[in-house]
Amino acid sequence: MSVLLMRLQSDPLRARLLLLIGLWIIAILAVSLLSPYFLQASTIPYLLQYVPILGLLGLGQTLVILAGGPGIDLSVGSIVSLVGVSIGAIMTTGLGVWPACAIGILLGGVLGLINGVLINVLRIPSLMATLATMFAYGGLALATTEGRPIGNFPETFGWLGQGDTLSIPNSFLFVLIPVALVLHIMLTRTTIGRHIVACGNDDRAAHLSGLNVVRLRIGLYVLSGVLAAIGSVISLSWFLAARPDAGKGMELAAVTIAVLGGTHIFGGTGGIPGTLVAILIITTLQIGLQLANISAAWQLGIIGVLLIASVASFGGWRQIWSAKR
């Protein structure tokens, strides 16, 4: 037992991951008691259907916050909305749905680049910069469509958002999991990953050691925009319609997922596995409480309490780890 505690104290991310897995098990047991329908076989595919879009946003948010600054991206929900209506508008010109989606993903990268330049070149605090672009991107999506959704997407496009393979949603199996694996390998096995963590720990020391901190952080905002755009494509494929409010509220959920998953709000500590388990916790609570007919207000309150408790517990592990170092 003492050996296990020593290992957990020396590795806060592993301790965090175990804590999150325990919280997920508790969440499953709790919602199972609240609703007898939760443990039905059809619930798992239904639950996983909701995971990929928020998951992609949470992964992008994890990287932005991890690199320090402190960085945050409140515009990801509006990027989902704006990219979606842009793809719908491009399709009205006669271009095929998949080429339109490719252009939409490039647009997501451009929108992320704007965020990165505002924050890292013009030195506008990330909270204010991305709050401004959240309103700008979201307002543009509403203004260009006059609040009306854009439809006429081909039925075959639903393969990604509506289809499944072996009862697992295609968007989860072929998009979220591969993206998460690539990002995890990037963070843990590559020089870029080490640079991201170094910037989050001490950006001045990273700069003095020769790292281009500004370029790295801008690149992560671009990546966050691209991931949000891919999430928008999944949303389009799921509903076969581009709604100008499709991403409303997703930005706060993405921040919650990243922080709950163990990414320290000031950067330097975090990882992909914790973010994935946090997505499952949030989705399990949302779906389970909906099945139990518990109001959305209580759902938000429960998730808020869970976030506060988890951040407080993680602070203890971080202090232990820092003391041992």
- Residue 75, phi then psi, degrees to nearest 5: -95, -5
The CATH number of 41-310 is 1.10.3470
Say how many Å lie between the first and final Cα of the chain, rounded.
21
- Helices 191-201, 177-189: inter-axial angle, 10-degree rounding: 70
CB 71 within 8 Å of CB 65: yes
Per-residue pLDDT tens over the stretch 31-44: 888 888 887 767 88
More reliable by pLDDT, 258 or 13 = 258
Rounded Cα–Cα distance for residues 309 and 19 (Å): 11
Per-residue pLDDT tens over the stretch 118-169: 999 999 999 999 999 999 999 999 999 988 999 889 999 999 999 999 889 9
Per-residue pLDDT tens over the stretch 83-106: 999 999 999 898 999 999 999 999
3-state secondary structure of 150: strand
Rounded Cα–Cα distance for residues 57 and 181 (Å): 15
More reliable by pLDDT, 54 or 321 = 54
Per-residue pLDDT tens over the stretch 221-250: 999 999 999 999 999 999 999 999 999 889
H/E element holding 53? Answer: helix 43-66
pTM of the model: 0.91
pLDDT of residue 317: 46
* Strand partners for 242: 150
- Residue 224, phi then psi, degrees to nearest 5: -60, -40
pLDDT of residue 320: 42
CB 111 within 8 Å of CB 82: yes
Over range 173-194, report the average pLDDT: 96
DSSP E strands, 113-230: 164-165, 168-169
